[in-house]
Amino acid sequence: MNEKKVALITGATSGIGKATAEAFAKHGINLVLCGRRQQRLDSIEKALSKQTDVHTLNFDVRDREKTLEAIASLPKEFQDIDILINNAGNAHGLDPIQTGSLDDWDAMMDINVKGLLYVSKAIIPGMTERKVGHIINIGSSAGKEVYPKGNVYCGSKHAVLAITEGMRIDLNPFGIKVTAINPGLVETEFSEVRFKGGKQAEGVYKGYKALQAEDVAEVIYFAVSRPAHVNIADVLMFCTAQASSTVVKKEI
Ligand code: NDP
Ligand code: 8X3
């Protein structure tokens, strides 16, 4: 019997997901790493296979059938997922509601909310059957506090928090832990995606030390490494320079 835990991480090709994969590999957790960029999946698999067993899955979480098929295709040794990190997601655009783009809105609701649900749908039945498991949903400070022009992204992350709380209640009879990790500003590819590679992204992390992906990964590992009777239900974490979604002390 394989006694090592298996974690499935969505959005493992960069930022918080990749840092979490690295932290888990260091602690010998076997990994199912998901994302759409195959080259990155290959190079992360190559690096982390030195420390633990790794399997990769390439699918877009917006595609319901592909998501369910990919997870159903897991080889036997990776099928029993102990830890699910629902991390894939991004902001798309930063516009007032009156001029926001329908494509951006679709992307945020389809990836951040519906994608999280599709992945969860594929994995929860195994957890309820085995009466064990830990689901960590990566929300955001934007899921607790709305900021100007954040409208739909904040809405998607408020939905993630509500879904997380609902999961915790519904899965309580099965002994499954459910955790919300809600970071503020983290220096990843997030702003490049939000601003579609545009110049605006360059200034986001300037003039202060933002959270690094590794800072969030450490908290995620802390949550998954608590004793069986302890569940970290909800974490809000900021860098020291950030006090709220709109208050950030910058030295410029
Ligand atoms: P990155 O842009 O660095 O990483 C996003 C990850 O999500 C990538 O691995 C990407 O992989 C994956 N992803 C995006 N869209 C899809 C899709 N349609 N299907 C499958 N995978 C997808 O950003 P972060 O690491 O910062 O973001 C990770 C999570 O953290 C997100 O949910 C984000 O909302 C949240 N967050 C981020 C904060 C920040 O300031 N950075 C703060 C608070 C929360 P690929 O492109 O290969 O598919
Ligand atoms: C990411 C943090 O403040 O850019 O969720 O929305 S923020």
pLDDT of residue 3: 79
In the block, which residue shows the tokens 């509500």? 162
Instruction: Please provide the DSSP assignment of 16-85 as one string.
Output: HHHHHHHHHHHTT-EEEEEES-HHHHHHHHHHHTTTS-EEEEE--TT-HHHHHHHHHT--HHHHS-SEEE
Tokens of 205: 């992390």
- Do the Cβ atoms of 59 and 88 come closer than 8 Å? no
Q: Which two tokens stand for residue 33?
A: 């790493």
Mutation pick for ligand 1 pocket among 10, 14, 235 (CB with most ligand atoms within 8 Å): 14
Pocket flag, ligand 1, residue 190 (CB < 6 Å): yes
Q: Which parts of the chain have pLDDT scores under 50? A: 1-2
Q: Hey, what domains does the chain have and what are their CATH numbers? A: 6-237 (3.40.50.720)
Tokens of 138: 């990566």
Q: 153 an active-site residue?
A: yes
Residue 9 has a pLDDT of 99
Cα gap 36→154, rounded to integer Å: 24
The ipTM of this complex is 0.99
d(CA 189, CA 42): 19
Among the listed residues 124, 121, 132, 105, the one whose alpha carbon sits nearest the alpha carbon of residue 68 = 121
- 211 in contact with ligand 2, CB cutoff 6 A: no
3-state secondary structure of 251: coil
Cβ(195) to ligand 1 under 6 A? no
CA dihedral 212, 196, 162, 170 (to 10 degrees): -80
Cα 14 to ligand 2 centroid, rounded to whole Å: 16
Evaluate: CB of 140 within 6 angstroms of ligand 2: yes
